[in-house]
Amino acid sequence: MNEVKTFRLDGVDIEFSEGDTIMDAALRAGAYIPHLCHNPEFTPHGSCRVCIVEVNGGQVSACTQPAAAGLEVDNASDAIVEERRNLLQMLFVEGNHMCPGCEKSGACQLQAVAYYTGMLSPHYTHFFPQRSVDASHPDTAIDFNRCILCELCVRASRDVDHKNVFSLRGRGIDTQLTINSPSGKLGDSTFAATDKAAHVCPVGAILPKHRGYEQPIGNRLYDRQPISVVGDVAAYEPGNKGDGHD
């Protein structure tokens, strides 16, 4: 009989299997660790750092840290929550996120995680970068103002769709999402509305055209239940009401 292996997350024993990360085991157990760039369908790479937890006195990304027996994982201390708020505040000011006028409001992971952590103001000075909207594709539009560089669309297009439509270029604050096509426009690429990459954006950067604001305020995904209850993957699963793809 195989011995059950566990670690402790905020004082609760979490079972894990060989090869699990802390995030894998926590999600399976129904324990919510805030995150944005993680999707269990793709190899994690810890780019957003929102899933930071404290393990035996040091901070690590829960999505990349292997689970191990006996670990003491702190997911909810004041210091961890404050660090997450700072990361979220920086994401809000580095882009142009106008939640009241965004079609994704109420079904946006960035917004939902901000509420969950108590981040109710951006705190830092807004950068107001000059970013474009690409509406060249017949079925899908991209608003680069809302992109948080999570690379979910990059990984989905590369690993699932096998098209490599998206990539990141630049460094630091100059990093930006780009379209791999002769013109640099989505409409001139091999992208299709049926691609996995069309449905993984955790914010309102990649949206279907010819429809919008179909769910009224109060009936959207995270209006009904907080992200800690609903989970994150539900936000971009086709067919989920409130996600813009139902």
Delineate the domains of the chain, giving CATH numbers in brackets. Answer: 5-76 (3.10.20.740), 88-211+220-236 (3.30.70.20)
Is it the case that residue 71 has pLDDT exceeding 60? yes
15-51: pLDDT as tens digits = 999 999 999 999 999 999 999 999 989 989 888 999 9
Specify the pTM.
0.91
Contact 125, 93 (CB under 8 A): yes
How many Å apart are CA 189 and CA 163, to the nearest integer?
A: 9
**pLDDT given for residue 233 in this prediction:** 61
